Structures are given as structure tokens and as C-alpha cells.
Amino acid sequence: MTDDIFHGASELESRAIRELIGFAMDAPAKANSGHSGTAMALAPLGVMLWSRVLRHDPTDPQWSDRDRFILSCGHASILQYSLAHIFGYDVSVEDLEEFRQLLSKTPGHPEAGHTPTVEVTTGPLGQGIANGVGMAIAERVLRSSYGEDLVDHRTWVIAGDGCLEEGVSHEAASLAGSLGLERLTVFYDDNHITIDGPTELALHDNPAERFAAYGWHVINLGERANDLDALERATHEAINETTRPTLIIIRSHIGFPSPVIMDTKEAHGTPLSAAAITQVRQILGMPDTSFHDDPELTSSLVESLKTRRDERLSWEARVRAAGEKGVALLTQLQTNGAAVITKDAEKFDGATMVPTRKAMQRAMDVFAPQTSGLTAGSADLTENTGVILKQSLQQNHATPDGRQIHYGIREFAMSASMVGEALHGGLRPVGSTFFVFSDYARPAIRLAALSGASVLFVYTHDSVGVGEDGPTHEPVEQLMSLRAMPRLHVVRPTDANETLDLVHQYLTDPHPPTTALVLSRQDMLVLKDDDAAASLAGARKGGYVLREDEQAVFTLVATGSEMGPCLEACDQLRAQGVITRVVAMPCWRCFEAQPLEYRQGVFRSSLPSVSLEAGATIGWYKYVDHAIGIDSFGLSAPGKEVFAHFNINANSVVEHVQDVLGGVK
């Protein structure tokens, strides 16, 4: 039996589509919040993909060789939750009834790690496409390492008009075409409606020509959103494409089949009225019951996926038969390719001057060959930022095992792609650019932190020490801005050897936090003797006492390159008979995770204190009485002159201590 409305649908698929449309109407209506229209229109696509094409098994949701499904237009989250429910994942009708409610399993937008089948956190439009690029990269790298017998899956993304309008989708699509990611397919839901009204208000692009120019294979299905056989044929055409990613364009009608809201802007974010919902149920021949749940539907759909379950069992058998290779794959997946370091990096000589970005390159030289999951690259600044993988090939279609990724001048897409790589499992991506350009990447950094993705963002040229490039290239507010982001570890090492140790920590941790490693372009003092020992003992705690003295009358605090002037000030004051102690704060969030007693010992509150950092001072007053920094934009001049202009030096610290202590000379 086939369906007259949903062409080519089997009787089981027809029931599934109707149930899904019902949930898509009922959940937002009950919540009085949410987006019904897109989920209603894409119900046939979702059911076709999950029933006929997607490689998945509800009895083992985390099967590592499953296909990855990403709903880039995350406002249509009820589509994914409903699909998860009817296909037997741990999402109940009660969960659907709690759509968008406090602490429910069905939040307003998909959140990674929160709801079964949700691979990445989506909502901010366009990033899901870039996440898909990263997942396709991860699959390719792992497949090249372990072979198609053990790694053989695809990435499927559903995106809408808003996704394609956002700039990150342009960056990501260009990157995907350049890399020839043949196992990436994006469905473009071309429904011609945005919140303000018709897309023609602001959009006159030709997406088929645009994506073809990016190097994609483009299939324009036209008015086939309800034709399951046509949709399936398009997916198989995409699967048979072996050199390019594929865009499948589908002209859908938002809110279908409601005569009230179809093809209107109200379908985008306004829940349907009770009368409109009843009318749709009548059109579909459904019982007029809220959250109608066919008791036999899920079991029948799960049973229909038996061939997928057999594929999983066969895969498990192949992994066992692969012996050491199979064990290595499972270990890499479980640890995200953590480093197993048997050879450490050579330390830099104490009392020398070394920029911390050079320490990053030394870390890559030594640790990269010992880190099975590492990929590394930059936004066109590979040599500048110290992420050259000297023993790896460039990642592209011709060398699919390459770990060196040239992301091009695409900071946003690079960062969002790395989120996809990390959340795929098995990889720990490192991506880099100049620190000031973290502004281009900030939305992806935020979603990385929100989703707990183990990504290492490497940012060099960390301050006004950039010098002659001037205020456009001199980060001032970026440190504090990123420190304000929940879950993100912002790390500004004290010297080159501390950088080596912190990179070592990140690469060996099976599940490291999302981290921004902020490194200098300018030379920095390498600590020696007792100072070096204090760094080694305390840096991983985020804040530590670099120099202690029970007779101290003042605490001096610094991060990064400002530690040199801080230590100089300590020595000058001692020569004047003023004893101070010195605290380093490479990572505030790590420090805040330490026991209260430890933190109190680092900042002896009974003593006056001052911080020195070449950036915005807001935030420092949580720790110190006074902050010396830069609360304006920078200047174009040699770096040392810019530091001097803003009083980022030992003299300013000495003068402040003298003033506070009453003019002690």
C-alpha cells in the first residue's frame, strides 16, 4: 500500500509521517513555544532518511560506525525528538510533552550529550553545516587509518534558508568542496520563508550555482518534499558520488499540510491553534487526540531496521577479528586519540628569551607523532602559530590520511569544523589563528564550550606586543571576553616550558575541556631554578605561587609575557627592602576548580595586591586590589614602545607598590 499524500511511502512509513506531524504540532502548542512548520514539512524526509538510508541502530545508539545526523536548523528540534521517539530511542511521549520545559530531555534546540541521536549542539544557524564538515573529516581520517572494514559511515545534514544565509555556511561549504568530502550530504530545505516573511525580502542567491562553484555535486529535486522514492533516489546518487560533497535542494512548503499556516511566516515560530491542529489531523486521517502515540509503530520501525542491526553486529565481529588494529580503534574512540607519550619535549634553557608560540611548535614536533587522534591546522597562519605537523600529509581528497588541515582564511568555519571533529569521536583537533581573530570564531568557541567538545584553540600574537600591526591586530579585550565564557579554559602560560607542560597535559587527558591556549609573538623570559620548579609544580592548578616569602608585604600577580616585568619588579623592590611575593595565573577556570584552602593560600588576602596584564582590567578585581592593564585600544608602533606607552612594565608595578605602602623607597 502506498500513500496518496506522501508518494512512495509504505504503510508503516505513512503512519510514521503522520505521527511525526502530530507531535510537531502538539509539542509546541502545549509549550506555547517552538517551531512546528519546518518539522511538519520535513517529516517525509526525516522518515525516509531514518527508515531507508541512515546507518543507525536504536538498540545501540552510540555505535561508533553509525551515520551522523545533524539538524543544522535546530529550531526544528521537535523533528529530531519525534524521529528519535518513533524509531525507538530513549525519548518517550512524556519527554515530547515536556518540550522546552525546565530540565526536560527535549530542550528548545538540540544539545549534544543531552538527548539520544543529537550529535552536535545546534540552533545558531549555519554552524551545523560546518560541524558536518568536521564530522566528515573525522570519518575520513579514521577510515584512512583503520580501513573501510572498521570505519565506513556518512554524515547527513538538514539545513534551511537561514543556515545558507549565515556566513559560516559559505566558509564551510567552500572548505568542504576544496577538501572533496564525498561522504558529506546536506539537504537544503528551500521553503522560501523566514521569520520576517518570504526569503525574497533579502535573499536572491542561486544556491545550486553557488554550491557548484564551491565544488559540490548538486541535486535539485524541486517540488519533491513529499515524494519518498524521489528523496531516496537522491540520497543514493549522493552515496554514489565519490569525489565531492553533495547538496540536495528540496522545495518544501512550511507548515504542510495545514491550510491555515502553510507557506506563511507564522508557520516558522507560532504554534498552531487547536482548531488548526484538528484540521490537519482530519486531512491526514488521524485520531483527533493530542500526542497520539501508535503503540505498535515504534516496535515495527525498530524491527524494520534489522538489516542495520545486522550491519552493527557484523561490524563488531570485524573489529574483534581485526585483533590489535581493532583494539587500537576502540582505544582511540574511547580516549579521543589521547597521546601516549614515551618521549618528552626538550626543555628550553632557563633565563633565555623565547616566545611561547615557539614552544607550541616544539610540542607539535615531539607530541604529534605520539598522539593518534591529533589533527592540526590554522586559518592560513600555520608557521606563525606553531602547528606544523612535520610528519603528516596535507588533508585533502588525494591524501585522505593527512592530519595537517589547511582551513584557509576561514576562522569561523575552522572552529565549527573542529567542534564536529571532536564530537565525532576519535580525534582531538587543534586549530590556530592570531588571538584578535578569535572574534571571528567566537560563536563556534561558545558552542564548543556549551557542548563540551575537546577542542584546542591556539591563539598567538596575544597582546599589544604585536606592535606595528596596530590596534586592528592587537587583542585587548579578548582575554577577559573569553574568560567570561562558561566551561572554556583560557590558558595563558607563564613561559615556554610551562607551555610544553600544559600542551602535554591537554594531549594526554582522555577528555580535556574546551581550551583556548593564548601564546605570545614576542620573546618571554624562560623561568629558571626555583621559579621553574614552582611553575612545574603549580601550572596545572591554574594559579600558583611563583615566589613565596613569609615576610612579604605585597602580592604581585601576572600572566603570560607580563610575568617577566613582574619578577623584575619583585627584584627591584627587594633591593629597596620591600619584600613581595609573586603569583602566576595561567588559567582562571582551572584555579577556581581548586579547593578553597589552596586558593586562599595563593592569594593571601591579608596582603595588598596588584596584577599586571596587557589587556582589559575588568575582572581582575575578583583577585587583586588594583589592576594595571590596558582599557583602550592599542597603537601602531614597535611592540616594546607600545608596552612602554601603556606602562606595562616593572616600573609601573614598583611605583604602585611604593604608593600603596606610603612612598617606601
pLDDT at 295: 83
| 106 half-sphere exposure, CB direction, 13 A CA radius | 30
Order the strands of the 489-491 sheet from edge to edge: 404-406, 374-378, 428-434, 456-460, 515-518, 489-491
Q: From the DSSP assignment, how many helices (H) and strands (E) are in the chain?
A: 27, 16
- Residue where a domain terminates, one of 248, 283, 308: 308
Are 170 and 134 found together in one domain? Answer: yes
One domain, residues 245 and 178? yes
**Pair 500, 595 in one domain:** no
Cβ contact 479:459 at 8 Å:
no
CA distances for 84 relative to 16, 238, 298, 301, 605, angstroms: 11, 24, 10, 11, 53
What is the rounded distance in angstroms from the CA atom of residue 270 to the CA atom of residue 261? 9
Beta-bridge partner residues of 612: 558, 628
Residue 3 counted as domain residue: no
Final residue belonging to a domain, choices 488, 518, 548: 518
Task: Judge residue 398's burial from the number of C-beta atoms within 10 Å of its C-beta, 0-12 exposed, 13-18 middle, 19 or more buried.
Answer: exposed
Q: What confidence score (pLDDT) does residue 663 get? A: 59
User: Any idea what the Cα angle at residue 382 is, between residues 588 and 509, rounded to 5°?
Assistant: 40
Q: Is 376 a domain residue?
A: yes
Angle at 54 between CA 53 and CA 58, to 5 degrees: 130
pLDDT of residue 1: 40
Is 223 domain-assigned?
A: yes
Cell of 527: 623561568
Is 239 inside any structural domain? yes
Same domain assignment for residues 132 and 194: yes
**In terms of C-beta distances under 8 Å and separation of at least 24 residues, what long-range contacts does 56-63 make, across chains too?**
56/87, 56/117, 56/305, 56/308, 57/305, 57/308, 57/309, 57/311, 57/312, 58/87, 58/88, 58/89, 58/302, 58/305, 59/88, 59/302, 59/309, 60/312, 61/89, 61/90, 61/116, 61/117, 63/312, 63/315
- Whether 637 is covered by a domain: the verdict is yes
Q: What is the pLDDT of residue 227?
A: 98
| Side-chain-side CA neighbours of residue 537 (13 Å) | 10
Q: Are residues 257 and 404 in the same domain?
A: no
The domain of 78 spans 11-308
Sole residue written with cell 520563508: 193
236-272 residue pLDDT tens: 999 999 999 999 999 999 999 999 999 999 999 899 9
Q: Which three cell numbers stand for residue 431?
A: 586549530
Listed as ranges, residues in the chain with pLDDT below 70 are 1-2, 663-665
In a domain, 351, yes or no: no
CB 157 within 8 A of CB 129: yes
Provide the sign of the torsion angle of the four alpha carbons 525, 531, 532, 535, taken in this order. negative
296 is catalytic: no
567 with 448, same domain: the answer is no
Helix (H) or strand (E) holding 430: strand 428-434
Is position 506 within any domain?
A: yes
Read off the CATH number of the domain in which 500 is found: 3.40.50.970
**513/547 same-domain check:** no
Does the pTM exceed 0.95? yes
Same domain assignment for residues 48 and 141 = yes
92 and 191 within one domain: yes
Relative to beta strand 626-628, strand 609-612 is parallel
Domain CATH code at residue 596 = 3.40.50.920
pLDDT digits (tens, 9 = 90+) for 85-125: 999 999 999 999 999 999 999 999 999 999 999 999 999 99
**Single residue among 518, 553, 584 that ends a domain in this structure:** 518
Start-to-end C-alpha separation, the chain: 95
Same domain, residue pair 298 and 360: no
As for how many domains the chain has, the answer is 3
Task: Please give the grid coordinates belonging to residue 196.
Answer: 520576517
Catalytic residue among 411, 421, 474, 613: 411
Domain check: are 128 and 262 in the same one?
Answer: yes
Secondary structure of residue 183 in the 3-state scheme: coil
